[in-house]
């Protein structure tokens, strides 16, 4: 079964969060399917942490709805949250506990039954490379190992989805590599969402990238589609819905750029320009811009997140 038809684990619709006059997240839609490792990429302040707090039920949205495995987070928070493991940006550290004591405490919080506690502890430690440090005090571990403990507490109750907020921030380059390897391993058994403002991090571990800028999703594509993918930028006087472009022949996906413009990613070896011209004529979309381009994810990221570039466009 392909990812596109796999079970939907998280569905968010119209998620919005205001802090006083600031709109941190605005009408954000997100679908996460089983088996994916999705990266939320965005500059500082884009709304990644706020989004993750809402997806994990740690922050109430001002508007919008989240369901986890079809369970409404608002109506049945406890049942919905049981399917989620969360590593917040500032992990709760209990330096005076040993790794085993801390993980046992977290397992209890998540309602892991006493009989399964031993197994849960052993497998979380094994998966996170902590098998040898169970009796060490958390406070005495290196930052990289403390982060492993943070990830272990997120998977101790074997959730369907693991949500990691900036999991490599503050680590040295070797620790960063180790944590990335660990996340890639986790992704074999879990579905993962992680946030980062570091592009290579997303490219190294994720199979889909969602770029967030100013609280909304501005790009949402498989990483494979962004590796020197050819894409087409087009603009219309009477723009269609992105989904209508996405359905055209030779098109893999379409994301709005604002002002009636879209970036349309082409399927491998396809050139969707003819189909776009034909559809624009048939549907009277008023085609005013159309050009193909080879772009790296970095170029896409810079274009979509830079206010100055967009304002100039």
Which positions lie near ligand ATP, rule CB under 6 A? Answer: 19, 22, 24, 42, 44-50, 197
Q: Which is nearer to ligand ATP, 19 or 238 (CB)?
A: 19
Q: Which is nearer to ligand ATP, 26 or 81 (CB)?
A: 26
d(CA 264, CA 287): 14
Phi/psi for 26 (5° steps) reads -130, 110
Phi/psi for 113 (5° steps) reads -60, 145
Residues 143, 161 contacting (CB under 8 angstroms):
no
Residues 300, 226 contacting (CB under 8 angstroms):
yes
Least Å distance, CB 46 to ligand ATP, is 4
Least Å distance, CB 105 to ligand ATP, is 27
Q: Which is nearer to ligand ATP, 47 or 253 (CB)?
A: 47
Residue 246: exposure state from Cβ atoms within 10 A (0-12, 13-18, ≥19)? middle
Least Å distance, CB 98 to ligand ATP, is 30
d(CA 282, CA 265): 21
Q: Which is nearer to ligand ATP, 44 or 269 (CB)?
A: 44
Q: Which is nearer to ligand ATP, 205 or 232 (CB)?
A: 205
Q: What is the DSSP letter of 57?
A: T
Least Å distance, CB 14 to ligand ATP, is 17
Least Å distance, CB 173 to ligand ATP, is 20
């Amino acid at each position: 079964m392909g990812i596109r038809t796999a079970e939907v684990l998280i569905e968010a619709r119209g998620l919005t969060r205001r802090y006083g006059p600031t709109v941190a997240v605005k009408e954000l839609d997100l679908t996460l399917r089983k088996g994916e490792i999705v990266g939320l990429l965005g500059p500082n302040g884009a709304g990644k942490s706020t989004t993750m707090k809402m997806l994990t039920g740690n922050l109430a949205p001002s508007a919008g709805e989240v369901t986890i495995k079809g369970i409404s987070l608002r109506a049945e928070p406890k049942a919905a949250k049981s399917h989620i493991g969360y590593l917040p940006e500032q992990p709760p550290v209990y330096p005076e506990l040993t790794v085993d004591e801390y993980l046992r405490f977290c397992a209890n919080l998540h309602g892991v039954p006493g009989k399964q506690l031993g197994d849960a502890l052993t497998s979380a430690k094994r998966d996170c490379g902590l098998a040898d440090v169970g009796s060490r005090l958390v406070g005495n571990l290196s930052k990289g190992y403390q982060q492993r403990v943070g990830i272990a507490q997120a998977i101790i109750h074997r959730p369907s989805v693991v949500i990691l907020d900036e999991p490599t921030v503050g680590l040295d380059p070797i620790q960063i590599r180790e944590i990335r390897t660990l996340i890639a391993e986790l992704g074999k058994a879990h579905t993962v969402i992680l946030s980062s403002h570091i592009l290579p991090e997303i490219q190294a571990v994720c199979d889909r990238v969602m770029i967030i800028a100013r609280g909304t999703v501005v790009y949402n594509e498989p990483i494979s589609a962004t590796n020197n993918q050819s894409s087409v930028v087009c603009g219309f006087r009477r723009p269609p819905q992105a989904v209508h472009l996405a359905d055209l022949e030779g098109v893999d996906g379409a994301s709005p750029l604002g002002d009636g413009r879209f970036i349309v990613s082409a399927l491998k070896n396809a050139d969707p320009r003819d189909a776009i011209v034909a559809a624009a004529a048939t549907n009277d979309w008023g085609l005013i811009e159309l050009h193909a381009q080879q772009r790296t994810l970095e170029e896409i990221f810079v274009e979509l997140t830079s206010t100055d570039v967009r304002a100039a466009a």
